[in-house]
Every structure is written in structure tokens, then in C-alpha cells.
Amino acid sequence: MQNTMERPARRRDVAGATIVVTGASSGFGRGAAIKLAEQGANVVLGARRAEALGQLAAEIGAAGGTALAVGMDVSDPRDVMRLAQAAVQRFGRFDVWINNAGIGALGFFWDIPIEDHARVIDVNLKGLIYGAHVALRQFREQGFGTLINMGSIDSEVPLAYQASYAASKAAVLSLGRSLREELRLAGNEDIRVGTIMPWAVDTPWWTHAANYSGHAPRMLAMDDPAIVIDAIVRACVVPKEEMPAGLIAHASNASHHIFPDLTERMSADIAHREVGKAFPMDPGPGAIYQPMSDTATIGGGIRARMKQEDDRQDPPG
């Protein structure tokens, strides 16, 4: 394939690059797609909510950007291949692939139906493997490219009430490390891989998650989505093996390397206390099987609800 652009390994920005973003209908994916388009990238949007993607592509186009929307499910390898083919057919290649789609299941491990655990692995790990596989094959053909995987601070610090999610994110980080070494051994120095590791962030992820905790989802000191969106945009130019996003993620990552057992116990205790503060909630699968129609936003409104919960518990004066 003829390369007519400066290779991403030598780039200083994303202008002119073609970037594929999965999970683009809400949260990090939506925010990153908008910001990347604002900076001159062609964005290829993938998610289950085709109508929401079409609306996002229209918004980007109206603002002067270029976007292609492809309805798809990352847990289906045929859909992932179709997303890659659409990007190549429209733009000739893609320079960056962002494996962003992810789901969760909250509650004690044994209270969560086994099929929900399996669905978490299908999306968070198998879906990411499908994306990495098709992206790296394309990158090896064209001689360059950048693969960005969305991990979590759970990739480093396992967290109670999120057992299968944390396991999937630990696997994401391990996969990225292995891929970096394989690319080095194969001599593919212009193909790079990085893993972004956020702390808990106020996005619709919490509303979408399956939840069997008996309470609405929440976590201490949630970060603003802008912190992670900025990290994604930076990673498209300068990816690193591990990229904690935000001060809390950096602190948690460092703490676990020095005091692993203490950090895991403290994290579990924090998660347990947060569950106890939340409003009661009936158990259910959230959006892990069928998408929700009214959550195609960047922010999740979780911090606003947490304030209501905290105000309810704090005595006046």
C-alpha cells in the first residue's frame, strides 16, 4: 500500500490522520472523536447505536470535521473486520485504532449471573483482541500505525465489586505488553501500542453496567471525562506502555507497585463504603446486551447523583 502521509511515529499532531474509535457513541469514545476531529483527524466511529453514531458524524461534519459512522458490535469479529474495511475503503488506510468499547458488571462475584461475566469478557477482552488483530494486520501491511487500548487502573489494582471487569482490564494491559515485544522482535518499529489506565470517571459507563450490588453505582473522587479524553488524544501521537490518566490513577498505580496488598485492601474498602452510600437499585443487566437510547453523552451525571446521596446522609449544619 502506498503511503502518501507522514508516518504517525514522526507526527507531532493528529491533523490528517485517520483514526478508528470503538465505543464512540458515548463517554470517552464520543469525547475523543469530537476532539480528534476538531484537531483535523478523520474519525471512523464504531458502536452498537448506529443512529447515535450517525448524529455524531453529522455534528462533526457540521463543525467542519470528517467522520464516518459504522454501526457494529466489537464482540462480533465480523463486525470488527467490517469497521476496518469501511475505514480503508473511505480513507485508503487508518493510522490509529482506539480499542475503547467496554462494559462492566458490578456486585459480589457470586451474585452476578455467569452469562453477564461472560459478556464482560466477550466485549472487554475478546472484542479488544479482535480490534487489535485487524489493526495490526493493517499496520503491518502499510508499515506503520498506532494501537491504543483502553485499560483501567483496575489493570494494575484489582477492585472488589468489579471482579470480572478488573480481570478483563488486567488482561488488556498484559496483551499490550506482549504485543509491544512481538512487534519489536518482528522489526516493526513504526507500529506502536499503548494502554490508557483511568481512575473511575463520570461517564455513562456506570449506567450501562450490569449491576447486582443492590445500590446505584458510584466511586470515590470520580474524575472528569476531559482528563481521559485528553490522554487519548495525546496517546495517538505519543503512546506509552502504561498511561495512567489523572492524579488519582497515577497515585493508585504507584501505590500498588510499592504496597500491593495494602493498596488492594484500601481500594476494596473504599468500593464497599461507596456502595453503602448509594441509593437502592434493583438488579439488572444494564446495557451490556442491548444499548440504551438516552445515554449518548460524554458525561454520566454520576457525580451529581452522588452529591444528592451525600447530602441525604450529612446532617444539616
Q: Is 165 a residue of the active site?
A: yes
- Residue recorded with cell 470480572: 164
Q: Name the catalytic one among 130, 165, 212, 289.
A: 165
Task: Please tell me the distance from the alpha carbon of residue 246 to that of residue 222, in angstroms, as a whole number.
Answer: 10
Cα–Cα distance, 72 to 81 (Å, whole number): 10
- By the 10 Å C-beta count (0-12 exposed, 13-18 middle, 19+ buried), 14 is classed as buried
Q: What are phi and psi of 290, to 5 degrees?
A: -125, 130
Q: Closest by alpha carbon to 129, among 87, 181, 187, 168?
A: 168
Query: Residue 68 is placed in which grid cell?
Result: 464516518
* Catalytically annotated residues: 165
